[in-house]
Structure 1
Amino acid sequence: MKKYDAVIIGFGKGGKTLAGDLAGQGKKVALIEKSNKMYGGTCINVGCIPTKSLVHSAELAEAFHFDSFEEKAEFYRSSMEEKQRLVEMLRKKNYDKVNASDNATIYDGTGSFVSEHEVLIQLENGEETVYGEQIFINTGSAAFVPPIPGLSEAKRVYTSETLLDLKELPKHLIILGGGYIGLEFASFYASFGSKVTVLQMEDLFIGREDREVAEAVKTALEKKGITFIMSAGTKQISGDREAVQVEYEVGGKSETVLGDALLVATGRRPNTKELNLDKAGVETLPNGAVKTDENRRSSKSHIFAMGDVAGGLQFTYVSLDDYRVVKSALTGGSYTAENRNVPYSVFIDPPLSRVGLTEEEARAKGYKNVKTASLPAPAIPKAQVLQQPTGLLKAVIDGDTEEILGATLFCSESHEMINQIKLAMDLGASYKVLANQIFTHPTMSEALNDLFSAVK
C-alpha cells in the first residue's frame, strides 16, 4: 500500500490548489479524480467557465440581430465549439500544473473510504488502496433530479451539466426551477433566440432576494421574452426524440407545455454518496454534506472538506477560500470560515450581484437602526452610454455604526462593482467612504457615489 502525506479526493479549486501547495513543500500527495473530463473541477468543466463563455456569446448574438432562427442556431453551434475549446484548454492546464510536480500523483478513479486513513480507488482496470496521513475531500456537488413520474425515462431531458453538450439550439426550452442556475440558462438561451418557459414550484420569485429588486429582475427577464409560471407543481413528464412534454398544475388546474428540450434546474446536492464516509467515522449533515467546524475540519481531526461538499455556498471561490482556511489550520493560523462576506453574481442580463444582508434580513437579525438607499440604473451615466439602463441598486446600512450590512446590485457590470462593496465591508469602513470615493468617469462604479449618498 502506497502511503502519502496527503490524499485529496476531488480535483476542484480547493483540492488542486492544496495539492500544488503541499507538493511544493515536498510532501507526497495523491490527488484522486473519478473523471478525466473534470480536471479543475465543476467550475472549469461544467460550471462557471463554460456558462460564462455562453453568456458572452449570447450577448454577441443579440447584438448581431440575426434575421432567421437558422442563423441563430448556426451561431449557437459555433459558440458551443468555442466553449468546448476553452474548457479543454483550461482542463489541460489544470492537469499539467499538478502533474508537473514529482511529489504529486494523479489517480483517475473513484475514491471511497475503507478506514480513517485508507482510501480505495476504483480504477478503470482494477483497484488500489492508498494511505493518507491527512485526507481532504473536495468532491463538489451534483445536480439534484427530483422523483417526478416519467422524468427518468423521457428523452430530451438535461441537467445544467448535460445541456452544455447540446449542439442544436432549442426552439423552445422548458426549465424546471426558477433558482439562480435556471435563471442564468433562461437568460442566455433567450438571448441566443430560444423561446423559454420557466416552471417554478414556489410562489415567490428568487425568495432570498430583496422584494423590490426581485420584481425588477422578473420584469427585465420577462421583457426578454421569458415566461414564468409560478406555483407550478410538476405532475408528469414525457418525451421522445422529437419533443418533451411537461404536465403541471396551478391552482388545482392541470396544464401542459410542449418543448424540444427540458432543463431540470432543481438544485444541487453535495457529492458524498460514493465516499463511504461512515467507514471513516465522518459525520454528515441532513443534506449529505460533510459536517465541519470553522477550520473545515470534519469529525475526524485529520480529515477536512472544502467547497460544495462542505455544505456552504456553492461557488468556486468559496472552495478556494476554504483552501486558505485549511492551510491556516494546518500551519497554526487563525483564519477561519466564520463570518466571511461572500459576494455572488447571477449572470443574467443584466447581472444580479449581492453581498451581505437584505433589508428584511437585517431587521430580522435585530438591527435597530437600519437605513437603506436605492438607485435606479437609468440614473447612471455609464449605463446610458452602454445602452443598458435596466436595473436597480440597493444598499443596507447600520445607522448606529455606519457600517455596510449588505448591498444588491442589479445592473450592468454589477459583478465587478460588488467586489468593491465587499472590500469596504471587510475593512469595517463607513458607507461614507464609498459615498465620497473618487471614481473614474464614466464608469458603473461611480454609481456607488450616488447610491451611498442616498442613505436615509
Structure 2
Amino acid sequence: MRSFDAIIIGAGQAGPALAARLDAAGLSVAIIERHHVGGTCVNTGCKPTKTLIASAYAAHLARRGGDYGFSVAGPVTVDMPTVAARAAKVIHDSRQGNERWLEGLERVTLIRGHARFVAPRRISVDGETMTAPRIFLNVGGRAAMPDMPGIDAVTLLTNTDMVALDTLPDHLVVVGGSYIGLEFAQMYRRFGAQVTVVERSDRLIAREDEDVSAAVRAMLEEEGIAVRTGATCIGFAPDPAGIAVRVGCAADARPVLGSHVLMAVGRRPNTDDLGLAAAGIETDARGYIQVDDRLETNVPGIWALGDCNGRGAFTHTAYNDFEIVAANLLDGGDRRVSQRLPGYALFVDPPLGRVGMTDAEAARTGRPLLHAKRPMTRVGRAVEKGETKGFMKVVADAETRRILGAAILGTGGDEAIHGIIDMMNADQTIDTLRWAVPIHPTVSELIPTLLLDLAPSR
C-alpha cells in the first residue's frame, strides 16, 4: 500500500491547482484521473464551447457585412471539419499544458485510473491501494439523461458529443432552454443549421427575471431559432427524418422532427462509482456530496470540491473551492463558501453577465429597494459596434445603499459586470461606485450613470 500526505481524486479545475499548493508546502500528493486532465472545462465545456462560439460569431459578423460597409463574395459558408479541428486543438493544447504542469511538480504523482474508496482513508486504483490523511474529491459532473419516454429508442447527443461534432445537422433540436442549450442553439444556427429549442418551463432560462428571459428569446427568434416553451410531455421516437421529439400531451400534438437532438436538461455528479458508502461519505438524493461551509464532508479529513459538491456549477466556483480549502489548510485562513458572491454569465450573443440577486429574489427579501434599468441603445460603445440589443439593470437596498444584484445583457456584458462584482465583494455603497471614472468609450462607463437612475419601485 502506497502512502501519501494527500490524495486528490479528479484533475478538473480545483484538483491540479490544489496539488501545486500542497506540493509547494512540501507534501507528497497523488492526483488520480480516470479520463482527461482538465475536467469538463478544458475537454467538453468552457474551452471548446467558447472556441465554437467565436467561430459562429465570426460567421455571423461576416453575414452582417453590409451593416459595416463591406461585402463578401457570395454567401458565407462554414467548414465544419475546420471549425471542429480548431476546437480540438484548443482542447489538446490546454490539456497538454495541464499535464506538463502536473508532471513537473516535484512531489506530485499523476496516476491514471479509476479511484474508489475501500475505507475512509484507503483508495483503490485498478487494484493498487493507497492511503493518505487528507483526501480531496474533485470528480466533476456530466450531462443528465432523465427517464423520458422513448429515450432508449433513439441516439441523443450531450455537450460532450457536440464539441466533437464535425458535421452540420440539418435540424438540431435542443431539449432544454437554459445556459448550455441556448449557447449550442445559437452557435449552430449561425453555422447554418435549422434549430428548435424545446423547454418544459413556460419561458427560457427560468431562473432569470422575466425581462431577461423575454429579451433572450426575442434575440434567438430574430436569428431564426424556433422556441417551444411549455413542453410538458417531452418524448422521443425514431422517424425517417431522424428523431421525432414530442412536445405536447394532446394525442394530435405535432412532434418536432430533427436530424439531431441535444439533451441539455441539467447535470449530475460523477459520484456513482466512487465507493462513497465504504468511506461513510454522505450524499443527497441527487448524488451530490454533502459538505459544510468549509467544503469538508461528514468524514473528517475528506473534502469535496467543484461540481460534485452541489455548491456551484461553474469553473470559477470550482477554482474558488480550491482557494477556500488552500487558504484554510495552508494559510491559517477561515474562508467559507457562504462568503462567495454568486456571479456567472450566459455566453449567447450578446452575452448576459449576472451577479447577486435577481429582481424577483430581491423583492422576496421584503427590503425597501431601488431599481434602475437602461437599454443598450444608450451605451455609446454598443452603438459604435452596431450591437445595441439588450439592457443593463441594478437592484439595491434603499437603506444600506448596497447593490443586491445586477444584470448586463448586451455586448461586453460578461466583462462589464465585473465592475459591479468587485464593488459588491468590497462591500462598497452605490455612492462609491457612482464616483468611479470609467474609461470612454466602454460598456462599463454607463454603470455610474445607471446608478444615478436608481429609484424606489413603483
TM-score range, shorter chain: over 0.9
Is residue 261 from structure 1 mapped to residue 265 from structure 2 by the alignment?
no
Q: Taking structure 1 as reference, are residues 198 and 24 closer, same or farther at Cα in structure 2, changes over 3 Å only?
A: same
Decide which moves more: 323-332 or 92-101.
Answer: 323-332
Q: What's the counterpart of residue 109 of structure 2?
A: 105
Structure 2 alignment gaps of length 5 or more = 64-71
Q: Is the 8 A contact 2:40 2:140 kept in 1?
A: yes
Paired residue secondary structure (2:254):
strand
Amino acid at match of 2:55: S
Amino acid at match of 1:23: D
Q: Taking structure 1 as reference, are residues 183 and 270 closer, same or farther at Cα in structure 2, changes over 3 Å only?
A: same
Paired residue secondary structure (1:161):
helix
Partners of 1:322 and 1:233 in 2: how far apart? 36
Is residue 310 from structure 1 mapped to residue 302 from structure 2 by the alignment?
no
1:152 to partner: Cα distance: 2.6
Partners of 1:132 and 1:33 in 2: how far apart? 17
Is residue 11 from structure 1 mapped to residue 11 from structure 2 by the alignment?
yes
Q: What's the counterpart of residue 174 of structure 1?
A: 173
Partners of 2:86 and 2:249 in 1: how far apart? 40
Structure 1 alignment gaps of length 5 or more = none
Q: What's the counterpart of residue 31 of structure 1?
A: 31
Q: Taking structure 1 as reference, are residues 93 and 366 closer, same or farther at Cα in structure 2, changes over 3 Å only?
A: same
1:328 to partner: Cα distance: 2.2
Partners of 1:283 and 1:256 in 2: how far apart? 42
Partners of 2:326 and 2:448 in 1: how far apart? 37
Q: Taking structure 1 as reference, are residues 253 and 450 closer, same or farther at Cα in structure 2, changes over 3 Å only?
A: farther
Is residue 144 from structure 1 mapped to residue 148 from structure 2 by the alignment?
no
Partners of 1:94 and 1:11 in 2: how far apart? 9
CA RMSD, aligned part only?
A: 1.7
1:356 to partner: Cα distance: 0.3
Decide which moves more: 433-442 or 416-425.
Answer: 433-442
Partners of 1:121 and 1:242 in 2: how far apart? 45
Q: Deviations over 1:181-207 (max 9, x none)?
A: 111111111122211101111113322
Paired residue secondary structure (2:114):
strand
Q: Deviations over 1:359-387 (max 9, x none)?
A: 211121231x1110001011111001111
Partners of 2:444 and 2:238 in 1: how far apart? 47
Paired residue secondary structure (1:300):
coil
Decide which moves more: 60-69 or 174-183.
Answer: 60-69
Partners of 1:242 and 1:120 in 2: how far apart? 47
Q: What's the counterpart of residue 343 of structure 1?
A: 343
1:73 to partner: Cα distance: 3.9
Is residue 84 from structure 1 mapped to residue 101 from structure 2 by the alignment?
no
Paired residue secondary structure (1:237):
strand
Q: Deviations over 1:16-70 (max 9, x none)?
A: 10011112222111111111xx21111011000100001111000112228888x
1:15 to partner: Cα distance: 0.7
Matching of residues 243-322 of structure 1 within 5 Å: 243-249=242-248, 253-322=252-321
Partners of 1:433 and 1:389 in 2: how far apart? 28
Q: Is the 8 A contact 2:113 2:125 kept in 1?
A: yes
Partners of 1:68 and 1:310 in 2: how far apart? 51
1:174 to partner: Cα distance: 0.2
Partners of 1:376 and 1:140 in 2: how far apart? 38
Q: What's the counterpart of residue 200 of structure 1?
A: 199
1:266 to partner: Cα distance: 0.8
Partners of 2:120 and 2:74 in 1: how far apart? 60
Q: Taking structure 1 as reference, are residues 25 and 242 closer, same or farther at Cα in structure 2, changes over 3 Å only?
A: farther
Partners of 1:241 and 1:89 in 2: how far apart? 40
Paired residue secondary structure (1:233):
coil
Q: Is the 8 A contact 1:221 1:349 kept in 2?
A: no
Partners of 2:439 and 2:333 in 1: how far apart? 38
Q: Is the 8 A contact 2:242 2:258 kept in 1?
A: yes
Q: Is the 8 A contact 1:234 1:246 kept in 2?
A: no
Q: Taking structure 1 as reference, are residues 235 and 179 closer, same or farther at Cα in structure 2, changes over 3 Å only?
A: closer
Partners of 1:164 and 1:347 in 2: how far apart? 15
Percent identity over the alignment?
34
Paired residue secondary structure (1:290):
coil
Q: What's the counterpart of residue 220 of structure 1?
A: 219
Q: Deviations over 1:420-445 (max 9, x none)?
A: 11110011111123333211111111
Among candidates 58, 61, 69, match of residue 59 of structure 2: 61
Q: Is the 8 A contact 2:83 2:166 kept in 1?
A: no
Q: Is the 8 A contact 1:77 1:169 kept in 2?
A: no
1:307 to partner: Cα distance: 0.8
Q: Is the 8 A contact 2:312 2:318 kept in 1?
A: no
Q: Is the 8 A contact 1:154 1:240 kept in 2?
A: no
Partners of 1:253 and 1:349 in 2: how far apart? 36
Q: What's the counterpart of residue 230 of structure 1?
A: 229
Q: Is the 8 A contact 1:145 1:264 kept in 2?
A: yes
